[in-house]
């Protein structure tokens, strides 16, 4: 019996060693191919299915190797869009300035800054943090990355010092610097279309103050989409955090219980989570009595019960596009043509709707008190 157990354990160890060796060989092959593909642009890696057929190994083995190369910084995974080869970064400095309007506890920007720090470290890029008061302390040859929305006066101050600017916000009236952003207006419009498709014709939109550019665009897009899809809507404003959503529960419950509103579109996940928690204390369950659709896909969104249906805004994609543009700066600076050195490009990224548990078809949704 002891012999049999020992034999089984040895056999299992030999299998593990063989699998690890096979993984190493596949990783070496794929690593060489990825390094050959690397350039200053984002290049999509072939699908797992194609890799599986070409390398003649199972899907699980392919995924393990891809995850290993992601951890090495050679590949980037975008939820719902596939895996991409990490662009080569020649420029080794980037200046970073955050808008004063960004709150320290903003989950989206916190996640973005964390990913940006990790990406910079993997690519040996030095980040130089700046404020409006320390603008002249940066590396003026390298690009400056603006995170958050800046007032026109402050934007002009930055433009006077830095010829190469990359913004993570949309400035419709400016075309003289690079802008990478999600179309928040379209997110709002699409949210109305999705909710209408689920049979919801009375929808509450909970949002933040107009000082948040993304919230304002989403609200305006939702209003336009609601009009287009025949949705009666109410707009409720609060802080764009857990407490802000929680504090709206009384007003939302009243609209659900007595005015037959059947769905909520939340400006971000934290507002949605706070509201759902508070509605539960009032006997209103999501999605059985009211559906919720949100934006951001923060890590908690998939772990929360019920798991949030939400739009994923991939910070990694924004960062990869940013680093790809940094090399464009280098290439332009090598040109003697002044016009060629101008750096302006718009990259509009598309969100991915992650359908989970908080969205339900209207006909499946009994009204509270019925």
> Which residue ranges of the chain lie beneath pLDDT 70?
1-20, 40, 80, 89-91, 104-105, 327-344, 364-370
Let me know if residue 369 belongs to a domain.
no
End residue of a domain, out of 67, 85, 103: 85
| CATH code of residue 81 | 1.10.10.10
Say how far apart CA 209 and CA 225 lie, in whole Å: 20
Structure confidence at residue 337 (pLDDT): 46
Q: Helices H, strands E: what count in the chain? A: 11, 15
Encode 204-225: b = buried (16+ Cβ within 10 Å), e = exposed: bbbbbeeebbbbbbbbebbbeb
Structure confidence at residue 90 (pLDDT): 65
365: alpha, beta or left? (left if phi > 0; alpha if psi -120 to 50): beta
Structure confidence at residue 27 (pLDDT): 86
Q: Are 163 and 235 members of one domain?
A: no
Structure confidence at residue 329 (pLDDT): 61
Other CB atoms within 10 A of residue 284 CB: 19
Q: Are 134 and 194 members of one domain?
A: no
Question: Which residues contact residue 125 at a Cβ distance below 8 angstroms, ignoring those fewer than 6 apart?
Answer: 89, 91, 92, 93, 94, 119, 323
Which is it for the CA torsion 263, 268, 273, 274, positive or negative? negative
Q: What residues make up the domain containing 15?
A: 2-85
Structural domains counted in the chain: 3
The Cα-based distances of 288 to 192, 256, 366 in angstroms read 20, 12, 7
* Contact indicator for 289, 368 with CB cutoff of 8 Å: yes
Let me know if residue 28 belongs to a domain.
yes
Q: Are 15 and 27 members of one domain?
A: yes
Q: Are 207 and 241 members of one domain?
A: yes
Let me know if residue 370 belongs to a domain.
no
Structure confidence at residue 14 (pLDDT): 53
What radius of gyration, in Å, describes the C-alpha atoms of the chain?
24
Residue 236's beta-bridge partner residues?
A: 206
Let me know if residue 297 belongs to a domain.
yes
Q: Are 225 and 359 members of one domain?
A: yes
Structure confidence at residue 72 (pLDDT): 83
Structure confidence at residue 340 (pLDDT): 44
Q: Are 139 and 242 members of one domain?
A: no
């Amino acid at each position: 019996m002891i012999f049999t157990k020992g034999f089984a354990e040895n056999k299992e160890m030999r299998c593990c060693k063989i699998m690890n060796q096979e993984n190493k060989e596949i990783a070496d092959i794929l690593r060489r191919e990825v390094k050959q593909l690397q350039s200053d642009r984002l290049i999509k890696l072939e699908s797992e299915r194609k890799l599986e057929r070409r390398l003649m190994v199972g899907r699980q083995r392919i995924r393990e190797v891809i995850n290993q190369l992601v951890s090495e910084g050679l590949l980037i995974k975008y939820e719902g869009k596939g895996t991409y080869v990490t662009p080569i970064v020649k420029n080794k400095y980037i200046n970073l300035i955050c808008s004063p309007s960004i709150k320290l506890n903003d989950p989206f920007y916190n996640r973005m800054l964390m990913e940006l720090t990790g990406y910079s470290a993997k690519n040996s890029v030095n980040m130089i943090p700046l404020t409006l008061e320390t603008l002249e302390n940066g590396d003026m040859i390298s690009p400056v990355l603006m995170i958050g929305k800046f007032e026109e006066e402050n934007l002009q101050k930055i433009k006077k010092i830095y010829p190469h600017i990359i913004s993570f916000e949309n400035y419709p009236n400016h075309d003289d610097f690079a802008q990478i952003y999600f179309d928040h207006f379209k997110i709002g419009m699409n949210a109305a279309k999705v909710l209408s498709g689920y049979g919801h014709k009375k929808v509450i939109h909970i949002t933040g103050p107009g000082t948040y550019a993304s919230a304002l665009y989403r609200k305006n897009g939702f209003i336009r989409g609601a009009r287009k899809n025949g949705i009666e809507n109410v707009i409720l404003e609060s802080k764009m955090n857990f407490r802000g959503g929680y504090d709206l529960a009384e007003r939302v419950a009243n609209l659900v219980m007595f005015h037959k509103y059947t769905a909520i579109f939340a400006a971000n996940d934290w507002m949605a989570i706070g509201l759902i928690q508070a509605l539960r204390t009032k006997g209103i369950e999501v999605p059985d009595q009211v559906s919720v659709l949100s934006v951001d896909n923060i890590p908690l969104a998939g772990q929360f019960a019920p798991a949030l249906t939400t739009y994923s805004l991939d910070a990694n994609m924004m960062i990869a596009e940013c680093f790809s543009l940094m090399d464009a700066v280098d290439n332009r600076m090598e040109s003697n043509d002044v016009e060629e050195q101008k750096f302006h490009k718009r990259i509009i990224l598309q969100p991915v709707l992650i359908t989970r548990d908080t969205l339900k078809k209207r006909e499946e949704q009994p009204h509270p008190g019925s």
